[in-house]
């Protein structure tokens, strides 16, 4: 199994479980991480510990990773439920570079959040 596929499966498990620690463990301590194109660099582990448990993610999808060498790009789509019951959908792309230890050494995320639940279209994720 490819590094991108392994990461996606592990991240999906963590996200569905709301387990920020498990998500954080996928990133190197010194990972260069940008959670959104217009945000400053931040600690990937701190971000995952904070954000993953914030909302319930009852359904999560990852597209087939596009990989070359130690870099992978993965589309994702998830239905989210806020603590107040508000529903939203997030769709985006996570661009990852893996270190020799298999942890994420660098990551950039591009995403869009939409009110309500929307499932991915049939052609999505290929």
pLDDT digits (tens, 9 = 90+) for 3-61: 999 999 999 999 999 999 999 999 999 999 999 888 888 999 999 999 999 999 999 99
Mean pLDDT for the stretch of residues 101-117: 96
Instruction: Identify the architecture of domain 3-115 in CATH.
Output: Roll (3.10)
Please, which residues have CB within 8 angstroms of residue 122's CB and are 6 or more apart in sequence? none
- pTM over 0.85? The answer is yes
Give the burial class of 114: count Cβ atoms within 10 A of its Cβ; 0-12 exposed, 13-18 middle, 19 or more buried.
exposed
């Amino acid at each position: 199994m490819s590094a991108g596929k392994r990461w996606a499966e592990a991240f999906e498990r963590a996200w569905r479980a709301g387990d920020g620690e498990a998500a954080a463990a996928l990133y190197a301590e010194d990972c260069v991480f940008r959670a959104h194109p217009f945000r400053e660099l931040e600690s990937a582990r701190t971000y995952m510990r904070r954000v993953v448990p914030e909302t319930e993610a009852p359904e999560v999808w990852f597209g087939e990773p596009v990989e070359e060498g130690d870099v992978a790009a993965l589309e994702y789509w998830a239905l989210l439920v806020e603590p107040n019951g508000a529903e939203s959908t997030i769709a985006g792309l996570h661009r990852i570079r893996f270190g020799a230890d298999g942890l994420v050494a660098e990551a950039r995320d591009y995403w869009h959040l939409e009110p309500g639940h929307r499932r991915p279209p049939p052609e999505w994720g290929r």
